[in-house]
Homo-oligomer: A and B are copies of this chain.
Amino acid sequence: MIQELKAADGRLAVLIAGVGGAVSTTMIAGVMAARRGLAKPIGSVTQMGRMRRQDGREQLIKEMVPIAGLDSLVFGGWDIFPDNALEAARCAEVLSEKDLKGVADELATIRPMAAAFDPRWAKRLHGTHTLQGATRREMIEHLRGDIRRFMADNKCSRAVVLWAASTEIFLPMTDEHRSLESLDRAIDANNTEVISPSMCYAYAALSEGVPFIMGAPNLCVDIPAMWELAAQKHVPIAGKDFKSGQTLMKTVLAPMFKTRLLGVSGWFSTNILGNRDGEVLDDPDNFKTKEVSKLSVIESILDADEQPDLYKDIYHKVRINYYPPRKDNKEAWDNIDLFGWMGYPMEIKVNFLCRDSILAAPIALDLVLFSDLAARAGMSGIQTWLSFFCKSPMHDFDHVPEHDLFTQWRIVKQTLRTLVGEKEPDYLS
């Protein structure tokens, strides 16, 4: 499956839809700080991750496979607000003024291009820095031009497009999404009911031969039409929905229950957060998209068919509450109702005082760098091996998604080993 693995020569354009958002600015500021030696890229698999080589040595992943260096990255993108990345980062209130100061000059140079936007798809957002009156096809063409221009202006040999903007309203798959031909027809008909703005970004990226990553739970590239386009253009697609806080925890605890054969009768998850993401998700239509993404995890790992005595009656509920006092400092509270030997009940409560963007930033970086690696390795279409980073891993109709974090991690390592032609070391013996 792996062909020639090209070196990471030249500069890599990292183009982000929602470049002024909290995740984007946190990621960019952190990369800049790391380049200057001001901060460690903690949480990043590509930067700090290690694995065991066939010969038994532990080694940094970036020394094993040719990942693009941080120095080669050039950041840009689109946003519905015209603020530069420094202003946007201040507004997001994720990073302290002290941390921003070290990279303020460089951040301020990043100015967003006007966004392809449709307020009906992201209620409660009111941006002005947008392509006015454009049809979906015009949006696509405009974005393609943006990508080409940015690469030329910045002398980039390669690019990746990442969606790190808001969750769009819930959109079930329709006939228009089932083939590239029908998708094209819907675009030409400017059918704004089924063609979301994020699809325009994906379509533009793929058309330009640029990998695309969906960081939100939007349907977007999770449709046959886009798989067809990705195959046609030989580019990787990855996503969806960064697996940052509560779901990360779930994909660790649920495998434990399964492995230890503990029953689960209920799982209640609630979140409070006060950033723009929380504001958007306060709208029921937008939340629906997120809810679908969050709910599948448990039933996928705790298979009621396989262990009906343990998992046939799980009551799983997920809530997200907009709560401004917390800003980006998302807090999750989970209650899990378990039962063990002879059916006796037990409870686990997890209170995660996390930071949404701090957890998501390294995931965004890793998805960008691994997608670029995949492209150089000639891997196209859905990158299932990047499920490790995703709350709702993309998969075609013939496969089921893998949610277990540790199985996902083994798949990452197996893929990297395949890239360099190695086998798994026999470290269990």
| Partner-B contacts on A (CB < 8 A) | 26-27, 29-30, 33, 39-45, 48-50, 58, 95, 99, 248-249, 252-253, 255-256, 259-263, 265-266, 268, 270, 272, 306-307, 309-310, 315, 317, 319, 321, 323-326, 331, 333, 335, 337, 339-344, 346-355, 357-359, 361-362, 405-407, 409-411, 414, 428-429
Measured between C-beta atoms, what is the minimum distance from A22 to chain B in Å?
12
**Would you give the shortest CB distance from A280 to chain B, in whole angstroms?**
17
Contact B48 A261 (CB under 8 A): yes
Known pairs A48-B307, A340-B358; A428 contacts B405 (CB<8 A): no
Task: Specify which of B358, B406, B414 is in contact with A344 (CB 8 Å cutoff).
Answer: B358
**CB atoms of B268 and A323 under 8 A apart:** yes
- Docked CA distance A410–B266 (Å): 27
CB distance from A374 to the nearest CB of B (A): 16
Q: Given A266-B325, A272-B335, A335-B272 in contact, is the A42-B317 Cβ separation under 8 Å? A: no
A350 near B350: Cβ-Cβ < 8 Å: yes
12 more A-B residue pairs beyond the given contacts A341-B358, A347-B353, with a C-beta to C-beta distance below 8 A = A30-B342, A43-B262, A44-B341, A255-B406, A265-B325, A270-B321, A319-B319, A340-B358, A341-B361, A344-B358, A348-B354, A350-B350
Complex CA distance for A261 and B44, rounded to whole angstroms: 7
Are the C-beta atoms of A43 and B405 separated by less than 8 Å?
Answer: no
Known: A346-B355, A428-B410. Is A341-B268 also a contact (CB below 8 A)?
A: no
A347 — which chain B residues lie within 8 A by C-beta? 351-353
A251 to chain B, nearest CB (A): 9
CA separation between A49 and B266, bound complex, in Å? 21
**Cα distance A26–B342 when bound, in Å?**
9
A310 to nearest B CB, angstroms? 7
B268 & A321 in contact (Cβ 8 Å cutoff): yes
Chain B residues in 8 Å Cβ range of A428:
407, 410-411, 414
A69 to chain B minimum Cβ distance, whole angstroms, is: 18
Candidate in A26, A263, A341, A354 with the most chain B CB atoms within 10 angstroms: A341
Q: Bound state CA distance, A285 and B241, in angstroms?
A: 33
The listed residue (B323, B337, B340) touching A355 by CB distance below 8 A is B340
List B contacts of A39 (CB < 8 A): 342-343
Given A355-B346, A362-B341, CB of A309 within 8 Å of CB of B50: no
